[in-house]
Amino acid sequence: MSADTPPDPYANPVAFGQRMQILRERRGMSRTVLGGLLGRSTDWVKQVENGRMRPPGLDAVLRIAQALRVRDLADLTGHPGMRVDLFIGPGHPRLAAVRAAVDALPVRDPQAAPPPPSHLAARLARAWAARHSAPDHRERIGALLPDLIHDAQLAVQHAERPTEWRAAQAALSEVYSLSQFFLAYQPDPSLLWRVAERAMVAAQQAADPHAVGVAAWLLAQAHRDAGPDHYDAADAVTRQAIDHLTPSLPDAGDDLLAITGALTFEAGYTAARRGETATAWRHWDAAQVMATRLPESYFHRVTSFSQAIMGPHAVTVAVELHAGPESVRQAARADAGTIPSRPRRARHRIEQARGYQLDGQPEAALATLSQAYEAAPETIRYNGYARSIILEETESKVTARRRRAAELAVKVGVLAA
């Protein structure tokens, strides 16, 4: 082994600080950058690495693992079997209140008056509008969710007729679906799973095909984002949901057609994650056919499925297949300006940036991420792919690019100002 080669942290038992230094150097990251990511000084990093300071607590270890882009905590701790998701972002200030609302025991209070169904529906509509139009969409829906969760549960408890009860369950399922957009990339995966499962249970109780489709779409995403071990589960959920909805398609309205199209694309998304090129594009083609049956101005408020979204979906397929030139070609064809949702537009910019990075165009990647930030700061702030690209470029040997990446890193919050 060359003297310049960083040692293997498993070759001999080493202390936490030594592991931290080895992994930092493998990333080509300076102590200054790591300290900035952790909100600590360069001297603090040095003291931990040199063993002059006791190993930090679990919360700090998790932050270090995220900053160093470590998936297995054993790389830091030496204790096997501890995993950390690289793409979990920092906790949102509203997370604790949302968690409390989800965890609260929904005991029936006979004195509490449930909101009228029309009032609950109007509040949901406003919440979805905020989700799509506000740059700080997480803040906006995070502020609305605790009361929405409580009141939707209340509506279910006080429903007197079967039709009212099923309608209330459909509304509750939609509230939980909205919650999943807030909880995505938050440091509480168990909470996301509870909400995803409750959305499906409420949708099934409602016997509402559209609600079942939406809940399945989000549940499939939760499985896929949990990693390769869950891809089969994601496929199973998607396939079963499409089979459930298919008999209704000949007379389907726009919403039911859209959720079926969204599920069809999700099957392609998972195939792309597996590296199955032909299957991924076949599902994209099938979803495109469904999109063309929708009015040009239609936009599904949960999934964003529409004619306008199929171009960005093509970028996602190419990126997930790690096809740099193809992703750039698809990005050139997709018109982000036709996407009415700010966070979805920002996510498309992030996918474009991934494509540019794959194609060896880091300057274009950074410029596109800046566009994502302008569209919806809270989307890029909690997106692991965006954070990863920015971090890589803060270590660029090109001075102008390194400076630009550092400025964006400070805006996004991955480096301290």
Residue type, 176: Y
C-alpha R_g of the chain: 23
- Please tell me the predicted confidence (pLDDT) of residue 60: 79
Beta strand spans in 85-146 (E): none
* Whether residue 295 has pLDDT greater than 70: yes
Query: Would the pTM of this model clear 0.85, i.e. be above it?
Result: no
415: confidence class by pLDDT, cuts 50, 70, 90: low
Q: What is the pLDDT of residues 207-255, one digit of tens each?
A: 999 999 999 999 999 999 888 889 999 999 999 999 999 999 998 999 9
Mean pLDDT of the chain: 89
- Please tell me the predicted confidence (pLDDT) of residue 385: 86
189: confidence class by pLDDT, cuts 50, 70, 90: confident
Per-residue pLDDT, averaged over 58-78, amounts to 74
- Please tell me the predicted confidence (pLDDT) of residue 86: 45
354-383: b (≥16 Cβ within 10 Å) or e: bbbbbbebbebbbbbbbbbbebbbbbbbbb
* Whether residue 378 has pLDDT greater than 50: yes
Dist. CA 402–CA 393, nearest whole Å: 6
Q: What is the three-class DSSP state of 119? A: helix
Q: For residue 226, count other CB atoms closer than 10 A to its CB.
A: 16
Q: For residue 400, count other CB atoms closer than 10 A to its CB.
A: 9
CATH architecture, domain 16-77: Orthogonal Bundle (1.10)
Q: What is the three-class DSSP state of 155? A: helix
38: confidence class by pLDDT, cuts 50, 70, 90: confident
What are 276's two structure tokens? 């199955």
For the chain, the first-to-last Cα distance in angstroms comes to 39
Residue type, 16: F
Task: Name residues whose C-beta falls within 8 Å of residue 203's C-beta, 6 or more positions apart in sequence.
Answer: 169, 170, 173, 211, 212, 214, 215
Q: What is the three-class DSSP state of 72? A: strand
- Please tell me the predicted confidence (pLDDT) of residue 318: 96
Of the candidates 270, 181, 255, the residue with the CA atom closest to the CA atom of residue 218: 181
* Domain-wise residue ranges, the chain: 16-77, 90-207
Task: Considering only residues 225 and 101, tell me which one the structure prediction assigns the higher pLDDT.
Answer: 101
* Whether residue 103 has pLDDT greater than 70: yes
23: confidence class by pLDDT, cuts 50, 70, 90: confident
Q: What is the pLDDT of residues 8-22, one digit of tens each?
A: 444 444 588 888 898
- Please tell me the predicted confidence (pLDDT) of residue 165: 96
Per-residue pLDDT, averaged over 36-54, amounts to 85
Q: What is the pLDDT of residues 390-413, one digit of tens each?
A: 988 887 889 999 999 999 998 988
Per-residue pLDDT, averaged over 14-31, amounts to 82
Residues linked to residue 127 through DSSP beta bridges, in sequence order: none
6: confidence class by pLDDT, cuts 50, 70, 90: very low
